[in-house]
């Protein structure tokens, strides 16, 4: 059986998404907007990322590369949750606070992230946003240990859209 499917069956699979379009923040700032997933220092859990995605809601004015950016190191200073988003169990049972993962549309991170994986590239002035839907099936290639975070970031032109992530939580 697929490991993530088993985690869903056990109640350990979670997901979150922006509920309105947000502008993604450039990597070189700790005041982040868009989509920030964090795992508090001391949580006792690892967040194993299944997938992350981004869907443009406005036609980009210029080319952009969208990335998953991860904290550079473990930090005991917590992420400041400015605009929290709801986290849901993947089984459809509703929002939950019984998880280690916290998600924000705006937050202040304790350190600057580094690019971890590219998610997609938008060409200069595409005709529509419909074809600008990017999904990275990480399948565990990104793990957030306690005291780390992940944010959707970009290089060149700030994208506007909806971001989301699905992850499993297991003992650290």
Find the CATH number of the domain harbouring 70.
2.60.120
Tokens of 34: 């868009």
Confidence (pLDDT) at 28: 85
Q: How confident is the model at residue 121, as a pLDDT?
A: 87
Total-model pTM: 0.94
Where does the pLDDT of residue 128 fall: very low under 50, low under 70, confident under 90, or very high at 90 and above?
A: low
Q: Which residues contact 8 (CB under 8 A, 6 or more apart)?
A: 90, 91, 168
| HEC string for the chain | CCHHHHHHHCCCEEEEECCCCEECEECCCCEEEEEEEEECCCCCEEEEEEEEEEEECCCCCCCEEEEEEEECCCCCCCCEEEEEECCEECCCCCECCCCCEEEEEEEECCCCEEEEEEEEEECCCCCCCCCCEEEECCCCCCEECCCEEEEEEEEECCCEEEEEEEEEEEEC
pLDDT band at 134 (very low <50, low <70, confident <90, very high): very high
- Which residue range is the domain that position 42 belongs to? 3-171
Higher per-residue pLDDT: 63 or 74? 74
Across the range 103-130, mean pLDDT stands at 85
Task: Report the length, in residues, of the chain.
Answer: 172
Which of 78, 100, 69 minimizes the C-alpha distance to 87? 100
What pLDDT band is residue 30 in, cutting at 50, 70 and 90?
A: very high
Q: Which two tokens stand for residue 108?
A: 């202040």
Burial (CB count within 10 angstroms: exposed 0-12, middle 13-18, buried 19+), residue 152: buried
Contact 145, 172 (CB under 8 A): yes
Q: For position 43, what pLDDT does the model report?
A: 98
CB contact set of 31 (below 8 Å; sequence gap of 6+): 25, 106, 108
Q: In total, how many domains does the chain have?
A: 1
Query: What was the pLDDT predicted at 122?
Result: 84
Is residue 1 scored above 80 in pLDDT?
Answer: no
């Amino acid at each position: 059986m697929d490991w993530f499917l088993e985690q869903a069956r056990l109640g350990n699979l979670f997901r979150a998404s922006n509920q309105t379009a947000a502008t993604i923040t450039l990597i070189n700032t700790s005041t982040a907007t868009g989509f920030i997933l964090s795992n508090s220092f001391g949580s006792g859990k690892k967040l194993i990322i299944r997938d992350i995605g981004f869907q443009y809601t406005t036609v980009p004015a210029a080319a952009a590369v969208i990335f998953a950016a991860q904290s550079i190191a473990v930090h005991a200073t917590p992420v400041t949750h400015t605009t929290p988003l709801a986290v849901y169990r993947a089984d459809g049972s509703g929002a939950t606070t019984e998880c280690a993962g916290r998600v924000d549309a705006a937050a202040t991170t304790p350190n600057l992230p580094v690019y971890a994986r590219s998610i997609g590239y938008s060409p200069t002035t595409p005709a529509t946003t419909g074809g600008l839907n990017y999904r990275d099936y990480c399948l565990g290639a990104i793990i957030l240990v306690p005291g780390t975070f992940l944010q959707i970031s970009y290089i060149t032109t700030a994208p506007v859209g909806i971001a989301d992530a699905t992850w499993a939580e297991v003992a650290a």
